[in-house]
Structure 1
Amino acid sequence: MSPKVKIHFESELAQALDFIRSKDLESAWTALAQAHILGQFDAIPHLRVHWHMFRLGLLSLNVQEIAGQIPRMILAIPGSITGKAPKGNTGLSNVGIFQPMDVPEDLQMILQQGSKG
């Protein structure tokens, strides 16, 4: 992960954790989805996001997310290393685990800036 992308990734993750602390769970899910898109091609950040999604699923008693995050945590590292993680996927259990998705424009710009070094 480039330093530019990492800054945005860490910011989204920190925001998600702040939202969790303030009990704004909907905003936490959104921030985690954003972090997932930014970090999904780097193994450890990818796994970190799924871990936090799993924890948020437990906190919110969301059985679908709890169950959906377990295979995602197992596949996060291999998916990142092999490049098989589906581009743009939010990482949430309401979308297919291998379903590519459109990357939002703001995140496209961050990822493109990061690839330029």
Structure 2
Amino acid sequence: MHPILKQAFEVEMNKAKNLYKQSKYTESFFHLERAHILGQRFVFPHTYNHWWMLKVGIRKKDKHEILGQLVRIAVAGIGSLLGRAPIGNTGGANIGIMQVLPIEGDLKVLFERAGEN
């Protein structure tokens, strides 16, 4: 993982975890989605991110999100390993598991700086 993307991933995950500890689950999930975009090409960050999304789904008692994250945890690492992670996908159960989305704004700039556009 390029150091620029790794640092941004860690920042987003830390924000998500801090908000989770404050029971601000919607805000936490927003940062998990950003972290997902940054880390989905890499086995461990991708799977770890879905674990945290599952935790938020459980806290929110969102059955759709829980089921969606269980499926994603099962396939995330394999998808990353095989280079099949759908770029730009935010990782939540509200988005199709293989749906590619545009990367925009500050995240797009980070990918460009890392030479991974």
Runs of 4+ with >2 A deviation: none
The one-letter code of the counterpart of 2:33 is A
Residue 88 of structure 2 corresponds to residue 88 of structure 1:
yes
| Matching residue of 2:19 | 19
Alpha-carbon distance in structure 1 between the residues aligned to 2:49 and 2:83 = 17
The one-letter code of the counterpart of 2:110 is I
Residue 84 of structure 2 corresponds to residue 77 of structure 1:
no
Q: CA deviation at 1:115?
A: 2.6
Q: Secondary structure at the match of 1:31?
A: helix
| Matching residue of 1:43 | 43
Q: How many equivalent residue pairs?
A: 116
Q: CA deviation at 1:11?
A: 0.4
RMSD in angstroms over aligned alpha carbons? 1.0
Structure 1 unaligned blocks of 5 or more? none
Alpha-carbon distance in structure 1 between the residues aligned to 2:24 and 2:115 = 32
Alpha-carbon distance in structure 2 between the residues aligned to 1:82 and 1:105 = 27
| Matching residue of 2:111 | 111
TM-score by length of 1: 0.95
Alpha-carbon distance in structure 2 between the residues aligned to 1:50 and 1:15 = 15
Q: CA deviation at 1:104?
A: 2.1
The one-letter code of the counterpart of 2:52 is H
Alpha-carbon distance in structure 2 between the residues aligned to 1:47 and 1:115 = 23
Alpha-carbon distance in structure 1 between the residues aligned to 2:106 and 2:4 = 13
Q: Summarize deviations over 1:40-74 as a string: whole Å, max 9, x none.
A: 00110000000000111111111111000011011
Q: CA deviation at 1:91?
A: 0.3
